[in-house]
Structure 1
Amino acid sequence: MTVLQDISTFEDIKLLVNTFYDKVQKDDFIGPIFNEKIGHRWPEHLEKMYRFWQTVLLEVHSYSGSPFPPHKHLPIDKEHFDRWMQLFIETNDTLFQGPIADEAKLRAKNMAEMFNYKINYFRDQGQKGDLLNLK
């Protein structure tokens, strides 16, 4: 039986991100949404994700920015976030074990819940604005 190590290096972050997004790109449910939005810019997206997770998990402050705005108008809902989480947890648990790997899952869960909430909030605000403009 192979003993899994915890996430501890930038190379670990790259392995997690690359393996996870490879699954995302091939997934029948969320893959088309990601592939349409990102298009040929996958290398840039992956680089950004390396920096994001390195900052979040290893406290190496290499990411700056706002992760939510690019997701604001995506045609996604809770089921998409559930699938994203399923793939993330599956990938993480296959590759790593330990406190930082557990932290990665918690952070991903919190981020998915917050993004889902904010997307729905902006949709609701847009619909209210549309109704106000009809009057």
Structure 2
Amino acid sequence: MIPNDIQDLNDIKKMVDTFYTNVRQDEAIGPVFNEKIGERWPEHLEKMYRFWQTILLDTHTYSGSPFPPHKQLPVDKTHFDRWMAIFTTTIDSLFAGPLAEEAKLRAKNMAEMFNYKIEYFRQAEREQLK
């Protein structure tokens, strides 16, 4: 059976819930997420529903800047590569179509931007310590 494309908020919730279930169980990035989020998973998931609903369904339910909470995380390119691999596998297992492809592209762009910005801020901090 060929999966459907992402169509509505229920699909966004399915995508987000499945993805973060996989993330939380992952040996490489699960500990980073679980330590940072702690007991606030329901709040985080709600925010992610709104984020992806805004990006993919053009329903403006998310406002804010997604980068600042990630700025101080103890992560590097290997973490972002793992995050992206889990995201891609999750999407491909659940959906197929233009919005599913858009989700993967947006995630890839975000991962690359977050990694670049984190490295930039770390380098700037190292320069200040010299």
Q: Which residue of 1 aligns with 2:83?
A: 84
Task: Please name the residue that 2:31 is paired with.
Answer: 32
Find the aligned partners of 2:80 and 2:120 in 1 and give their Cα distance.
15
Please identify the structure whose Cα radius of gyration is greater. 1
Correspondence for 1:96 = 95
Report the Cα offset of residue 130 of structure 1.
1.1
Q: CA deviation at 1:24?
A: 0.3
TM-score, scaled relative to structure 1: 0.96
Runs of 4+ in 1 over 4 A off after TM superposition: none
TM-score w.r.t. the length of structure 2 is 0.99
Unaligned 5+ segments in structure 2 are none
1:59-70 superposed matches below 5 A = 59-70=58-69
Identity, % of aligned pairs?
Answer: 66
3-state SS in 1 of match to 2:96: coil
Matches of 2:50 and 2:125, distance apart in 1: 32
- The residue number in structure 1 matching 2:128 is 129
How many residue pairs get aligned? The number is 130
Aligned to 1:117: 116
Gaps of at least 5 residues in structure 1 are none
Q: CA RMSD in A?
A: 0.3
Q: Deviations over 1:84-106 (max 9, x none)?
A: 00000000000000000000000
Quick one: which amino acid aligns to residue 56 of structure 1? I
Query: Could you say which residue in structure 2 is the equivalent of 1:10?
Result: 9
Distance 1:130 1:18 in 2: 41
Residues 14-51 of structure 1: per-residue CA shift (max 9 Å, x gap): 00000000000010000000000000000000000000
Secondary structure of 2:108's counterpart equals helix
2:123 partner amino acid: D
Partners of 1:12 and 1:19 lie apart in 2 by: 10
**Structure 1 residue 50 corresponds to structure 2 residue 49:** yes
